Amino acid sequence: MVEALPARGVPAEQVLAEVRGLRTADRPTHGGRLFAYVYDPAVPGLDELAGSAYALSAHVNGLDPTAFPSLLAMENALVGAAARVLGGGPDTAAPDVVGSVTSGGTESLILAVKAARDARPEVSRPRLVIPATAHAAFAKAGHYLGVALDLVPVSAETLRPEVADVAAAIGPDTVLVACSAPSYAHGVVDPVAEIAAVAEAAGVRCHVDACFGGWTLPYLRRLGVDVPSFDFAVPGVTSISVDLHKYAYAPKGVSVLLHRDAGLRRSQYFAFADWPGYTMINPGIASTRSGGPIAAAFATLRHIGDDGYLRLADRTLEAVRGLADAVRAVPGLRLMAEPESTVVCFTSTDRELDLFVLADELTVRGWHTQPQMAYGDLPASIHLTVTASVAPRVAEFGPDLVAAAADARKLGPVRLPDELRALAATLTPDALTPELVAGLAGGIGLGAADGPTPERMATVNTLLDAAAPALRERLLVEFFGLLQRPIWA
Ligand SMILES: Cc1ncc(COP(=O)(O)O)c(C=O)c1O
């Protein structure tokens, strides 16, 4: 255990050694074996460059751009680059694009929803229309901002919504329609042009959540992939978000929210002058903002450059195709969709091949995948976010997937104790007492010395999968609360 405030300060070298020691418990952020959370281009020297740029600006405060023009210059350069990648800027169909740098995709989406909500003050009960596959951050935005969600179902075959259903969901209180390019879970691009057209016809803003893949789709198109229009070239698209800390390969903490023009952005801002302190104008949620992530992103983009991103997209494409072939070669596994971006997502068609057990078997072989729960008609699946660093590893993945599937079959599906399964299926979140939480946690071995380890999560995942989303949310809150406990000296 480490103590953050020792009685006597610890020498710098020792502190760094301690941090390095703590980091050894983490999943490997480099090496092409982690298919979620991190985006690794495997570009030599990039970490060092981004780290140095980060350090140069870490203490700069984005609170006041007039005091720190370096930050404003780098932010504006990032916005210009993102706009260019996404079909905006001089000599395009969207010459007046403007934007802001935010801390991540979630903040960009919250601000897109806020801007749309506040542009329609006459709507007292604002609503947001999204496909059911839209990122959970929209639900968070709705929750924080008091905007109700209208979820449009997606087809189990195409994983996309029907445009007629989107049109039907738009009502007088709809302040925003949003869609994904692509969705996180399956990497599928929504029918953006058609959705934007129905939104425009209804006089409603349309946001394209390109947080995940907005930086790769244009490069994939340049490589010959059939990528449908999803950016500012599409009439009716009023805003787009793209995360630089994903496929632009910048360190965490940077996303860009773009609006087609400054008028659309105005309601995103928050200004306050009615207090005795400094007058405040914030484009985003945070007030004080470190310049570190912005400088690091600026350095990353400049170092990789347009030609570099094209090469990285090519390598990623090669990896995606190799991984998809590996999945196709295993009987009992089925791709949820033919890959059209940088996601490989697959499910099991065989009851004896339990996906959650398979995910564990891959983990013990050093492949860190992301299990996804069943949702409506959609089965549970395994998600792989593929980055350029995966390409050299693909040849090793195929045989390991075959072996992992064979061992998962041998182990057989997870069988929850009957009473636990019944409890998960019938319990309502309100009925969840601390005793029941402790019982459920104990039933799956959480907190026990021989309980689940990061390598063996199948039982936990099966319990969560058996619970309805509302109960699952509550269990997650409770289980997470068990993790967030102070370390005392
Ligand atoms: C499509 C999409 N939107 C939004 C987000 C949220 O991004 P962040 O985790 O940076 O807040 C993600 C994250 O994976 C995403 O894939």
Judging by beta carbons within 10 Å of its beta carbon (0-12, 13-18, 19+), is residue 233 exposed, middle or buried? middle
The pLDDT > 70 percentage for the chain reads 98
Model pTM above 0.85? yes
pLDDT at 94: 98
What is the mean pLDDT of the segment spanning 78-99? 98
**DSSP string for 393-462:** GHHHHHHHHHHHHHHHHHH------HHHHHHHHH--GGG--HHHHHHHHHHTTTTSTTS--TT--HHHHH
Please write the tens of the pLDDT for every residue from 32-59.
Answer: 999 999 999 999 999 999 999 999 999 9
3-state secondary structure of 261: coil
3-state secondary structure of 298: helix
Structure tokens at 100: 């802001």
From 35, 130, 212, 254, mutation site for ligand 1 pocket: most ligand atoms within 8 A of C-beta: 212
Which atom of ligand 1 lies nearest, measured to the CA of 134? 1
pLDDT at 437: 80
- The Å distance, Cα 109 to ligand 1 centre, comes to 9
Buried b (16+ CB within 10 A) or exposed e, 260-283: beeebbebbeeeeeeeeeeeeebb
- The Å distance, Cα 94 to ligand 1 centre, comes to 24
Give the contacts of 162 (CB within 8 A, at least 6 positions apart): 152, 155
- The Å distance, Cα 85 to ligand 1 centre, comes to 18
Please write the tens of the pLDDT for every residue from 340-388.
Answer: 999 999 999 999 999 999 999 999 999 999 999 999 999 999 999 999 9
Is the CB of 137 inside a 6 Å radius of any atom of ligand 1?
Answer: yes
Is the CB of 208 inside a 6 Å radius of any atom of ligand 1?
Answer: no
Please write the tens of the pLDDT for every residue from 255-299.
Answer: 999 999 999 999 999 999 999 999 999 999 999 999 999 999 999
Please write the tens of the pLDDT for every residue from 405-426.
Answer: 999 999 999 998 888 888 888 8
Other beta carbons within 10 angstroms of residue 42's beta carbon come to: 18
Contact 225, 340 (CB under 8 A): yes
Q: How far apart, in whole angstroms, are the C-alpha atoms of residue 373 and residue 462?
A: 9
Is the CB of 341 inside a 6 Å radius of any atom of ligand 1?
Answer: no
Please write the tens of the pLDDT for every residue from 223-245.
Answer: 999 999 999 999 999 999 999 99
Query: Cα–chain-centroid distance for residue 205?
Result: 22
Instruction: Tell me the pLDDT band of 448, cut-offs 50, 70 and 90.
Output: low
Contact 285, 82 (CB under 8 A): no
Q: How far apart, in whole angstroms, are the C-alpha atoms of residue 80 and residue 345?
A: 33
Instruction: Tell me the pLDDT band of 454, cut-offs 50, 70 and 90.
Output: low
Is the CB of 128 inside a 6 Å radius of any atom of ligand 1?
Answer: no
Contact 288, 61 (CB under 8 A): yes
- The Å distance, Cα 282 to ligand 1 centre, comes to 22
Please write the tens of the pLDDT for every residue from 91-125.
Answer: 999 999 999 999 999 999 999 999 999 999 999 99
pLDDT over 80 (residue 1)? no
Q: How many CA atoms lie within 13 A of 259 on its CB side?
A: 23
